Amino acid sequence: MSRIDASLPSRFSRRSVVEVLREYAIVVSFLALLIILSATADHFLTWINLLNTLESGSIYGIVAVAFTVLLIVGEFDLCSGAIYVFVGIVAAKLQPDLGTWPSLGIGVVAGLGVGIFNGLIVTFLRINSFIATLASSLMVVGIGTEVTNGFQLYIPDPDFAVLGNEKFIGVDYFIWIFFVFVVIGGFVLSRTKLGRWLYATGGNSEAARLSGINTRAVRIGAFSFSGFAAGVAGAVLISRTGTAIAGDGLADVLFPAIAAVVVGGTSIQGGRGAIWRTVLGIFFLEFIRNGFNLLEVNPYYQAIIQGAIILVAVGADALSRGTK
């Protein structure tokens, strides 16, 4: 026994250096960026600028919250971008007949439905979730194109624009919605049995199952949540723009969402991560964009730097598990 215990500290300390780096890298980077930008850019630390940041980060932020949950449970959802677009098409198609709120509601339910479908095929057919959701996203895009014949739908009704454009206490509705997703997602993950089930399933599915957890149900639940969140984000989008056109939503919503989650430090290997990380990730990436614009940095460089940041985040994650 003594021999084991003696060999522990050295191994543990080396591991924990990587561990601590991975754990708090986003916090340190976020604060550093905040300080630098406040000092160098004049209009950075203002209420208006904060609201602007939230305005551009909230819609994909809703998707990012769900994506965080999905990564924690050890899965991936490439379909949520397609759902996001598809929900807008459904709502725009139904709005003239059913009115604004029922059509948006049905759109969100459709998103939820696709999410459940994804969960079922991943758990029961045991298809890798990356491939399964890639396939289902192609199907969803195809259905959207078929429904619209490839044309753009336009809903001029001012009632339809409420969700995406009205404010409550000076803050956009959809920022409040994002806020609700963050609070509920954060609470569920950190304080509830369901949260523990999600972490356990993603951390070690077999151990979770042998601890009495219905890991299939947990996975299906995570996919359903992802579909639902993409649906809500899609409903916000269609209401905000009034126009819908078939597409996969990858560049608009899914990629920024994935980037924020990963940069925040949620492990792509499952079992580790948190909603607050994703929130910091969103702010971090938005600040970079925002700050670069204020500093008038060439947009091409912005993309390169963002890509590099994601690589560093994922690399740190791999490193923390790769050291045996």
| Interacting residues with other proteins (CB under 8 A) | 1-5, 8, 12, 15-16, 19, 191-196, 199-200, 203-204, 206-214, 267, 271-272, 321
Comparison of 206 and 296: residue with beta carbon closer to other proteins: 206
Task: List beta partners, residue 172.
Answer: 167
Comparison of 195 and 247: residue with beta carbon closer to other proteins: 195
Comparison of 52 and 192: residue with beta carbon closer to other proteins: 192
Least CB distance from residue 269 to other proteins, whole Å?
8
Least CB distance from residue 207 to other proteins, whole Å?
5
Comparison of 46 and 190: residue with beta carbon closer to other proteins: 190
- Write out the two tokens for 195: 């949260």
**Residue 153: its H or E element:** strand 153-154
Least CB distance from residue 12 to other proteins, whole Å?
5
Task: List beta partners, residue 240.
Answer: none
Comparison of 194 and 251: residue with beta carbon closer to other proteins: 194
- Write out the two tokens for 316: 């740190």
Q: Which of 205, 256, 239, 203 is nearest to 80 (CA)?
A: 256
How far apart, in whole angstroms, are the C-alpha atoms of residue 137 and residue 173? 28
Q: Collapsing DSSP states into helix, strand and coil, what is residue 154?
A: strand
What is the full DSSP assignment across 219-272?
A: HHHHHHHHHHHHHHHHHHHHHHHSEE-----IIIIIHHHHHHHHHHT--TTSS-
Least CB distance from residue 194 to other proteins, whole Å?
7
Least CB distance from residue 124 to other proteins, whole Å?
15
